[in-house]
Structure 1
Amino acid sequence: MLSNSSPLMVFSGQSNCALAQEICNVLGTTLGQSETQKFTNDNLVVRYKQSLREADVFIVQSFSSPVSDSIMELLLMIDAAKSASAARVTAVIPYYSYARSDKKDEPRISIAGRLVADLIQAAGADRVLTMTLHSPQVHGFFKIPVDHLSAEVVIAEHLQQTVDGFSDGVVLAPDAGDIKRASALARRLDSGLAFIDKRRTSDTTVNARALIGDVQGRKVFIVDDEISTAGSLVEAVNLAKANGADSVHVAVTHGVYTGPAVERIHGLDVVEVCSTNTVDVPYSKIERSGGKLKTLSVAPLFAKAIQHIHTGESVSALFE
């Protein structure tokens, strides 16, 4: 049972120290002291440099590149915190990359999203705080409490503040599976809604077939959970422009930007491509995009969620 006097302590793995520091700034607390070392045989060792006894510990770690190291570091940090007599350990995972592996859609593969959830629980985590899972059902892989945040409010506020006539625009879902997310944003903006109908032509290729909805002469807001190689994004933007869109704005939660993504975005006819700071985007990528990449901060949202968890208040109240 967590004591009312348990101190709140926030620590960070190496994947997104900037976000962890910003969360601490909002909370008005100091980022906890820990260190991670890698031996010549690639083994990791984690050390906490202060007492965690009876503390309410939050460990911030995104599953970004190198993903396997990020996961292993988080597991070691959880285990070390439990061994150091922390009262409760919450794994704060802004980007849970293995949420894409949520089902057995071909023979002889692992459902990695569930496996990673099992590992986090086996390491000793008491709770998980995450944001915009690619497949929301991954939430159900955990037997411990999971608080699933959404960046929808942050994205909506950005569009309202930067786009004139946003309510006359259209929120465009890149495929039918994203309609629920796009519809929620459209309600916040009081704007129109459209989606792209896609058809799978092979095991690895999905082609856009048609745009369902009216985007002629209107500002289009493409929303998605993440951008990886930006292949689907290029297809969506080109289809929107081909259907007469006046301008295209892109906003996603996780800006992973792997492979040719940055070069593809540089050549796209878009006003901007926004992502939140759940994944750290190096300044070099922003430069290579021609300044089209923008970053929105979700640190205040995570800080509020952490505060509510610490004090026993409702996290869902943040979205009401």
Structure 2
Amino acid sequence: MKLLAGNSNRTLAQAVSVHLDVPLTKAQVKRFPDNEVWVTIDENVRGEDVFVIQSTSYPANDNLMELLICIDALKRASAKRITAVMPYFGYARQDRKTGGRTPISAKLVANLITRAGADRVLTMDLHSGQIQGFFDIPTDNLQAAPLMAQDIKAHYAKTSELMIVSPDVGGVVRALALASRLEADLAIVDKRRSGPGKTEVANIIGEVSGRRLIIFDDIVDTAGTLCSAAQSLIDAGAEEVSAYITHGVLSGPASERVKASVLKELVVTDSIELPENIGPDCRIRQVSCAGLVGEAIRRIANEESVSKLFD
């Protein structure tokens, strides 16, 4: 197999390379003076099984174009099979029509990746499961729950005393998967969305008083909703609140909000590189998903089952 890395997360790509003991393919992913993406593959990839590692995180449009052009370059270089490895799939929150005359951008992005020439997609913790159906090619959606459960067990002596919290009704299945692995109880925050990026907590389902809570979700963006949910849980009598979120988008004032919040810590994977303004005083910590992504790549290359990673 061959591994090709875009510019969105070189650190993760290098870690996956080390895990698989496969060097990154020599390539140039650069920009013309007007910011057009320019890609050159500097190795022979004819007949090869190539995995393109590229999250479509900020700047989402630039990183998406890099991915599409890398796929096109590989297709025209006669690669045998091209797998788009997208630890974070951007535009995933636009997975349905939320009103009249609105797009389903996640479907559009799926079409672009397919038409560019990808034969397979590998991603992690999609915002909603139905996005897999947007692709007309095989799509593997890795679960971060085992990774998070392992980290929680390493940092909490008695996981059975914890309570896992879903920050909304839509994330119950995801939170339940983590709670089952830890043999922990489950609570739900009933939040109502009053506008784009604006939510308010309406109710808390479950007895959280005196409990140590862990909020589990797939995406943290500006952290406004997360911090307000944590405050509501503390107001309801919780002893402490931490958060484990798969994708740390952390845009705008996110780091300052987390720093000023009641959260004990925020743990995210390295599916997205942390912004440069996040220091050790922000109480934000990363766990690596390189082993999980690398093992999935190895299994795909060897035609083995990926789902068995989560049994």
| Contact 1:59–1:89 (CA under 8 A) maintained in structure 2 | yes
Q: Partners in 2 of 1:204 and 1:256 — Cα distance?
A: 14
| Contact 2:227–2:263 (CA under 8 A) maintained in structure 1 | no
Q: Partners in 1 of 2:101 and 2:263 — Cα distance?
A: 41
Whether 2:290 is the aligned partner of 1:313: answer no
1:94 aligned partner, one-letter code: P
Q: Partners in 1 of 2:100 and 2:86 — Cα distance?
A: 29
Work out which of the residue numbers 125, 130, 146 in structure 1 matches 2:123: 130
Give deviations 1:260-281, integer Å, cap 9, x for gaps.
Answer: 1110000112221000000011
Q: Partners in 2 of 1:149 and 1:209 — Cα distance?
A: 31
1:147 aligned partner, one-letter code: D
1:53-92 correspondence runs (5 A): 53-92=46-85
Q: Residue 206 of structure 1: CA displacement? A: 2.6
How many positions carry a matched residue from both structures? 311
Give me the identity figure in percent: 41
| Contact 1:15–1:62 (CA under 8 A) maintained in structure 2 | yes
Structure 1 vs Structure 2 CA RMSD = 1.2
2:45 aligned partner, one-letter code: L
Give deviations 1:48-103, integer Å, cap 9, x for gaps.
Answer: 11110111000000011111110001000001001111110000001012111111
1:1-320 correspondence runs (5 A): 8-201=1-194, 205-287=198-280, 290-320=281-311
Q: Residue 283 of structure 1: CA displacement? A: 5.0
**5+ unaligned residues in a row in structure 2: which ranges?**
none
Give deviations 1:279-314, integer Å, cap 9, x for gaps.
Answer: 011453134xx1400001110001110000000001
1:179 aligned partner, one-letter code: V
Give deviations 1:139-196, integer Å, cap 9, x for gaps.
Answer: 1000000010011001011111101222111001111111111111111010111001
SS at match of 2:250: coil
| Contact 1:166–1:219 (CA under 8 A) maintained in structure 2 | no
Q: Partners in 2 of 1:52 and 1:108 — Cα distance?
A: 43
Q: Partners in 1 of 2:287 and 2:298 — Cα distance?
A: 21
Query: Under a length normalisation based on structure 1, what TM-score does the superposition of the two structures give?
Result: 0.95
**5+ unaligned residues in a row in structure 1: which ranges?**
1-7
Q: Residue 39 of structure 1: CA displacement? A: 1.1
Q: Partners in 2 of 1:229 and 1:297 — Cα distance?
A: 22
The verdict on how the C-alpha distance between 1:204 and 1:226 changes in structure 2, with shifts beyond 3 A counting, is closer
Q: Partners in 1 of 2:260 and 2:192 — Cα distance?
A: 25
SS at match of 1:98: coil
